[in-house]
Amino acid sequence: MDHSYPVQVRARLDEPLSRWLWLVKWLLAIPHYIVLFFLWIAFAVVTVIAFFAILFTGRYPRPLFSFNLGVLRWSWRVAYYTYSALGTDRYPPFSLDEEPDYPATLDISYPERLSRGLVLVKWWLLAIPQYAIVAVFAGGAAYTATGASGQTWQADTLSGGLIGLLVFFAAITLLFAGRYPRGLYDFVVGMNRWVLRVVAYAALMTDAYPPFRLDQGEGGLPAPAPDDLAPASAASAPAPAALVS
């Protein structure tokens, strides 16, 4: 994983996981879905305002940036709890804040300056190849394009596409075997990482073009306990490349 990229998406497989809880997470997450519905409407409005601010000043107003970052963080936590990953049974907090102790975190470096010309084309023309890949990963159910001049991104946290298919296989394995296949988990997190990088780019939050690279696994874990670091690093020496940026 590229730790220099401004969009850092991190995850930690929060084992042990319940064999059956995933069957009702759609029901448990309904309050989050309701709140996120309105937050994503606000996200779209804020992105339009930011579009014009960047166009005329070259800056993304920090309060607007912080709000949109909070919406992405909230959405990623709910997606990770539900059917974009099923990586934890910890109920997501109702918060726009960072929540570093939660097993799914997201951060975007605030850009002091953004290109005034690039803002006109990056969210539609330049991002077209990325949209094609994201459509395979997430289908149309998890991340729906709406728009700055019509084009931000909405995360519905109900994954379709390849992510949804592989998470379904993981759920069935969890139900019968009581465990989440590690290779499958790393691949799912890598796809989510790719999608969220594209979301942030399309939402004008960075000028750094998303890499065409699947950074798998959970590298850069959120706030690991010091007592857990030594055995974990010794046991998983070959895995430094694993995380969602």
| Domain positions in the chain | 7-228
43-99 pLDDT, tens digit each: 999 999 999 999 999 999 999 999 999 999 999 999 999 999 999 999 999 999 999
Residue type, 154: Q
Task: Identify each DSSP E strand in the chain by its residue range.
Answer: 7-11, 104-108, 143-145, 153-155
Residue where the block lists tokens 């690991």 = 224
Model confidence, pTM: 0.83
161-176 pLDDT, tens digit each: 999 999 999 999 999 9
What pLDDT score was predicted for residue 1?
62
> From residue 38, how far is each of 5, 28, 34, 160 by CA, in Å?
29, 18, 7, 21
199-229 pLDDT, tens digit each: 999 999 999 999 999 999 876 443 444 444 3
d(CA 143, CA 98): 21
Residues 6+ apart with CB under 8 A from 147: 44, 48, 123
